[in-house]
């Protein structure tokens, strides 16, 4: 039997029922619109680390007040799904397999100097090329060369320091060469300080040779053999970088290993003492004394400079000489990364690193008060885990081609290109975008 609901309700009540139903339908439709719009927004921000970061419009440095990833109001209230970048330590992590390999090769980039061109020099193993740095609390996107160059339009960069800075600048130039090949526009007499320009972007990158950052007279040949102690003025900055300082938009400043050399220390043009100068009647002050004093002087200059750009201070890099040092047959034969705790920082490297962290910590406080943007690149623990990334004997072209047992000098300090040092550029871009 079919029930006729019209017979059960008076005419007036039937009209009220119809109106009520219409209201319910309209409310449902409005709710659906609001819900769809809200879920559409959250689907774009729920995952803060898309694989292709270049598709997200992130403000360039100094162009927006807040470049942090957005989060939903609900997430902000509950504390859930907050961007892990806010708590991520980019320098704490592990090296994990990377089947895709490096962004460039020694054949695609003509800017690699011979001592770091391990593949061209005949290094037989290739596994060291297939690892990437993986921070524990977040994903680290690979540097986007096109985006980096767009960000750096009409800007100037300088990497200031020793041969590791030169090693690094080659890495950066090679990664950017995927978009445009840089043109060299300057070099000093010894090709230690150089400058390149990317014509399409009016962007220049320099490497400025200043291994101590303070004034120094160095007496050694191309192979690092000294004829006399370094004369180091701990109270005078090296003008090779300070004369250019205020005209640079971005800087990476570093030092370290050169302070281990036999040196005589000066202050107010008077001798204070020395480090490892047994033939001279001078007080042994130790390299740590000079390093702390010089670094404090440099950091104070930066922190009080009023510079309006972005300045990175990079910690010194560890070497991996085993079975001796560079001058006594030391080598680095490992072919894969190690895990944290499997290898220890050498005591000398630990002293350098401790001083760097302490002096940077004090300088950062002062810089912050003075409006100077000073950031730390603590790559020491990251590269400690890559004893496989050095040229070793392949700093020279096919060193064993004539004698497989030949005794050759190993380089366990600098880094193969491509190689682990490329990761530095990924970290730097991430810090620029979200630091």
User: Residue 33 CB: number of other CB atoms within 10 A?
Assistant: 10
Long-range contacts of 350-354 (CB under 8 A, 24+ apart): 351/288, 352/256, 352/257, 352/259, 352/291, 352/316, 353/315, 353/316, 353/380
Q: Name the CA dihedral angle for 339, 344, 346, 349, rounded to a multiple of 10 degrees.
A: 60
Dump strand ranges (E) for 282-366: 310-314
How far, in Å, CA of 109 to CA of 408, rounded?
Answer: 27
- Do 13 and 19 meet the contact criterion of CB atoms below 8 Å apart? no
Q: Is 305 a catalytic residue?
A: no
Is the Cα dihedral 112, 115, 120, 123 positive or negative?
negative
- Structure tokens given for 202: 């009016």
Q: Is 187 a catalytic residue?
A: no
How far, in Å, CA of 8 to CA of 6, rounded?
Answer: 5
Catalytic residue among 319, 411, 422, 426: 411
Please give the backbone phi and psi of residue 244, each rounded to the nearest 5 degrees, phi first. Answer: -100, -10
Q: Is 307 a catalytic residue?
A: no
Question: How far is Cα of residue 307 from the mean position of the Cα atoms in its chain?
Answer: 20
Catalytic residue among 163, 206, 210, 316: 163
**386 CB contacts (<8 Å, ≥6 apart)?**
95, 128, 131, 320, 337, 420
**How many residues comprise the chain?**
435
Catalytic residue among 168, 275, 307, 414: 414
Among all residues, which ones are annotated catalytic? 163, 411, 414
């Amino acid at each position: 039997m079919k029930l006729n609901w019209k017979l059960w309700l008076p005419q007036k009540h039937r009209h009220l029922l119809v109106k009520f139903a219409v209201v319910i339908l309209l409310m449902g439709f409005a709710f659906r619109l609001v819900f769809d719009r809200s879920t559409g927004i959250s689907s774009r921000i729920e995952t803060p680390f898309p694989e292709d970061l270049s598709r997200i419009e992130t403000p360039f440095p100094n162009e927006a007040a807040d470049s942090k990833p957005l989060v939903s109001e609900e997430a902000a209230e509950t504390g859930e799904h907050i961007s892990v970048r806010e708590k991520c330590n980019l320098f704490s992590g592990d090296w994990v397999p990377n089947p895709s390999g490096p962004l460039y090769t020694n054949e695609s980039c003509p800017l690699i100097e011979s001592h770091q061109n391990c593949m061209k020099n005949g290094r037989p193993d290739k596994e060291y090329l297939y690892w990437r740095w993986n921070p524990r609390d977040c994903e680290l996107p690979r540097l986007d060369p096109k985006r980096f160059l767009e960000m750096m339009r009409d800007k100037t960069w300088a990497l200031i320091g020793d041969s590791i800075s030169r090693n690094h600048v080659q890495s950066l130039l090679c990664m950017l060469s995927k978009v445009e090949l840089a043109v060299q526009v300057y070099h000093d007499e010894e090709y230690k300080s150089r400058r390149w320009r990317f014509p399409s972007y009016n962007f220049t990158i320099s490497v400025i040779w200043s291994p101590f950052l303070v004034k120094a007279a160095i007496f050694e040949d191309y192979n690092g053999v000294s004829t006399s102690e370094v004369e180091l003025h701990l109270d005078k900055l090296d003008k090779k970088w300070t004369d250019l300082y205020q005209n640079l938009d971005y800087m990476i400043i570093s030092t370290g290993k050169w302070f281990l050399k036999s040196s005589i220390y000066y202050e107010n043009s008077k001798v204070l003492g020395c480090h490892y100068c047994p033939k001279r009647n001078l007080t042994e002050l130790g390299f740590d004394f000079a390093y702390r004093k010089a670094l404090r002087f440099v950091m104070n200059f930066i922190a009080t400079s009023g510079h309006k750009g972005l300045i990175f201070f990079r910690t010194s890099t560890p070497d991996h000489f085993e079975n001796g040092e560079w001058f006594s047959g030391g080598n680095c034969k490992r072919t894969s990364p190690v895990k944290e705790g499997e290898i220890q920082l050498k005591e000398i490297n630990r002293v350098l690193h401790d001083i760097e962290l302490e002096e940077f910590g004090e300088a950062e406080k002062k810089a912050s008060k003075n409006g100077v943007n000073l950031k730390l690149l603590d790559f020491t623990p990251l590269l400690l885990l890559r004893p496989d990334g050095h040229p070793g004997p392949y700093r020279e072209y096919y060193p064993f081609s004539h004698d497989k047992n030949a005794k050759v000098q190993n380089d366990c300090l600098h880094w193969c290109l491509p190689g682990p040092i490329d990761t530095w550029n990924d970290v730097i871009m991430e810090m620029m975008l979200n630091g």
